[in-house]
Amino acid sequence: MFCNEIRSCPGAYHYPGFLTPSVQCDVSAHIIKIIQQAPLFVSYMPRTGVPMSVRMTNCGPLGWMSDKALGYRYVNAHPETLLAWPAIPSPLLEIWDALTQYPKPPEACLVNLYDLEAKMALHQDRDEIDLSAPILSLSLGFDCRFRLGGQKRNDPSSTFVLSTGDALVLKGPARRCFHGVDRILPTIGAALPPPLGDLGVRVNLTLRRVS
Ligand code: MD6
Ligand code: FE
């Protein structure tokens, strides 16, 4: 399989088109079922309460959320239904094994759904207790301009495009790199298959170890 190590960020590996179209369809069907069991919700920035522009849900033993009062955290139940998160579908567990070779399965899979205007501000993923485990990201739908920097917010960054079917693994030093989604590139790339396409234009899954 073809893979680029991102120059500005050692430990970041981009696998363009890693998911074949048929796997993308299968994963999309699983995402629809997850959203039926665990509806999309909005997270809010800690302290300010500013809503995030993506809608999200999770699968796995733990799920990520944020609200004004308690901020970023992992929880074992959906904040609105109070039900346990659905299980991580087996194709995603297999992709995790193939791309990370990490000896333990992911504990959380965050599902972020973007509309045309949604973005993701520059951030580090550091709410996990175990920051030595890799993070695996999978993208479906429209392209986006993804920004990857260094371990400090003001370190130089570079951008590249994440397209449908792309995988990105952040491990080692890259695990703590700042990153974000500058914008969706609506003129390029595949639309999400129905009925996901009625909900948004891009899905990003991030699979992580937490504990
Ligand atoms: C996104 N991705 O692609 C947002 N986090 O929509 C992330 O925030 C991310 O791609 C950790 C590792 C890889 C990622
Ligand atoms: Fe992230």
The pLDDT tens digits of the residues spanning 43-77 come to: 999 999 999 999 999 999 999 999 999 999 999 99
pLDDT value of position 168: 98
Which protein residue's CA is at the shortest distance from atom 14 of ligand 1?
Answer: 137
Q: What is the pTM of this model?
A: 0.97
Domain that holds residue 192: 4-208
Ligand found nearest the CA of 182: 1
pLDDT at site 199? 96
What pLDDT does residue 130 have?
Answer: 85
* 167-170/12-15 β-pairing: antiparallel
Residue 131 has a pLDDT of 86
3-state secondary structure of 53: coil
pLDDT digits (tens, 9 = 90+) for 88-132: 999 999 999 999 999 999 999 999 999 999 999 999 999 998 888
Which residues have CB under 8 Å from 80's CB, separation 6+?
39, 41
8 A C-beta contact, residue 100 and residue 128: no
What's the 137 CA to ligand 2 centre distance in angstroms? 9
Alpha carbons 95 and 40: distance in angstroms, whole number: 24
Nearest CA, atom 3, ligand 1: 204
Q: How many folded domains does the chain comprise?
A: 1
Ligand 1 pocket, CB under 6 A: 112, 120, 125, 135, 137, 139, 146, 162, 168, 170, 179, 181, 204, 206
Taking the CA of 72 as reference, the closest ligand is 2
Provide the pLDDT for residue 190.
87
**Residue 176 pLDDT > 90, yes or no?**
yes
Q: Whose CA is nearest to atom 7 of ligand 1?
A: 180
Note the pLDDT tens digit of each residue in 130-168: 888 999 999 999 999 999 999 999 999 999 999 999 999
Look at residue 81 and give its three-state secondary structure: coil
In which residue are the tokens 């509309």 written? 115
The CATH number linked to 174 is 2.60.120.590
